[in-house]
Amino acid sequence: SQTIHQWPATLVQPVGSPLSLECTVEGTSNPNLYWYRQAAGRGLQLLFYSVGIGQISSEVPQNLSASRPQDRQFILSSKKLLLSDSGFYLCAWSPWGDQPQHFGDGTRLSIL
Amino acid sequence: GQQVMQIPQYQHVQEGEDFTTYCNSSTTLSNIQWYKQRPGGHPVFLIQLVKSGEVKKQKRLTFQFGEAKKNSSLHITATQTTDVGTYFCAGGRDYGGSQGNLIFGKGTKLSVKP
């Protein structure tokens, strides 16, 4: 069966520091991968999605970036975090575009 | 842009009462999906509806997909405290191959008073 791993579970970072969140999927090949951000009590904001290695689509202009160096690895990065980057970051995978997505446990990011 | 509207935003019910959340799209969907996010947790896929007019049941939960494949509803009969959470609908659009996408509604947050 397929599993998705996302870490760390919580992270506290100072403003201006870099960020790297990693997500890996097991048990499937060539999945679609997604990064979402969720503000407290709010909906899901799609940040990036990828349909293959090295292919990244950005949904929202921001100081975040994403990379997919391997088939089942998806990384969310920032060079300098802003206060507004605080939130709950969720990674998800699906077999292809309009099919059910399966989420990781998420990372709660607090910026001080 | 593409949107999937979901109402209500919040719903407070007494345990045992019924609950319904509605999802509407201005364009035809390839499928509709429903997810549940428990407080502090991540969204969990519940069900997918594909056919026009489709109705599916999971115990006390009934899911419907409209005839025009533009709207959907989730109905919970006799809510329990375990139903607490945010319910998201997600509409699918198929562009072929892996390029389709899923548009999430903003969710309905359900609270249940014991």
How much is the pLDDT for B99? 67
Q: What type of residue is A23?
A: C
B83 — pLDDT class (breaks 50, 70, 90): very high
Residues of A in contact with B101 (CB under 8 A): 49, 97-98
Q: What is the pLDDT of residues A80-107, one digit of tens each?
A: 999 999 999 999 999 988 899 999 999 9
Length of chain A: 112
Provide, as residue numbers in chain B, all residues whose Cβ is less than 8 Å from the Cβ of A47: none
Q: Touching check for B33 and chain A: CB below 8 Å?
A: yes
Q: Can you tell me the distance from the alpha carbon of A30 to that of A39, in angstroms, rounded to the nearest whole number?
A: 29
How far is Cα A78 from Cα A14, in angstroms, rounded to an integer?
A: 12
Alpha-carbon distance A41 to A51, whole Å?
29
| pLDDT score for A40 | 82
User: Any chain A CB within 8 A of the CB of B98?
Assistant: yes
- Chain A residues with CB inside 8 Å of B44's CB? 103
Homologous superfamily (CATH) for A3-111: Immunoglobulins (2.60.40.10)
Question: Rounded distance, CA A5 to CA A50, Å?
Answer: 17
**What is the least distance, in Å, from the CA of A100 to any CA of chain B?**
7
Q: Do B48 and A52 touch (CB under 8 A)?
A: no
CATH class of B1-49+69-99: mainly beta
